[in-house]
Amino acid sequence: KDDTTFVEGHGTEKAIQDRISQIKSRIDDTTSDFDREKLQERLAKLSGGVAIIKVGAATEIELKEKKSRVEDALSATRAAVEEGIVPGGGVVLVHAGEAVSKLKLKGDELTGANIVRRSLDEPIRVIAQNAGQPGDVIVDGAKKAGGNIGFDAEAGVWGDMFERGIVDPAKVTRAAVENAASVAGMVLTTESAMTDVPEKHPAAMPPGGGEHMDF
């Protein structure tokens, strides 16, 4: 008796969009967290494309950690919507490394290609080692299996990565490779680098100077 719900109302699209714009403006202007929350709920109901995720925890530290996970998940979801998804667990990188191996190269180019191929194998190798599995064996297994087949480190079994829900946003994977190549190229072409050398401090003497101590 305290709520009223309108189904298939007769508001025009323009009127709805005007109301949405008005609510967004009020959200930006308000200084009350309570009012902002209610306005966001109203906006979600009108637009049908906005979701409000509430995260709770027993302590502030736990809350921050959970919030970080939610933000990472949202970013990954947006990236997946933009460019799709690929098999996770390092599988797609292994196949990319195989493609690099097929290039007809020689000299320094071949050396560089081998470094790239080895780098692309590293994620799945580290995942396997962290799960107590032999990294090189898992890498070879992924190459021989082909397709979307990979190693589920949590379950300790092989399977189709899509069917097991182990996927990565294609955009994130692509950006990771591009950024790694950019950093590597910068390091290789840098003539000099600077670093801080930690100072060596003598060990502190125990209280009393440590002399003539009887035990």
**What DSSP assignment string belongs to 117-143?**
HHHHHHHHHHHHHHTTS-HHHHHHHHH
Residue 140: the pLDDT is 93
Residue 207: the pLDDT is 65
* Dihedral angle, C-alpha 84, 130, 124, 174, nearest 10 °: 40
Residue 213: the pLDDT is 55
pLDDT category of residue 208 using cuts at 50, 70 and 90? low
Q: How far is CA 26 from CA 17, 30, 54, 192, in A?
A: 14, 6, 21, 53
pLDDT category of residue 187 using cuts at 50, 70 and 90? confident
Phi, psi for 158 (deg, rounded to 5): -95, 150
Which residues are CB-neighbours of 146 under 8 A, at least 6 positions away? Answer: 95
Using the structure block, give the residue that is written with the tokens 């719900």.
5
Q: Name which of 10-14, 18-22, 75-79 the model is least confident about.
A: 10-14
Within its chain, how far is the Cα of 69 from the centroid?
9
pTM: 0.61
As a residue count, the chain comes to 215
CB 89 within 8 A of CB 160: no
Please compute the mean of the pLDDT values over residues 61-68 and round it to a whole number.
92
Residue 204: the pLDDT is 66
Over 90: is that where the pLDDT of 13 sits? no
Over 70: is that where the pLDDT of 7 sits? no
Please compute the mean of the pLDDT values over residues 57-64 and round it to a whole number.
90
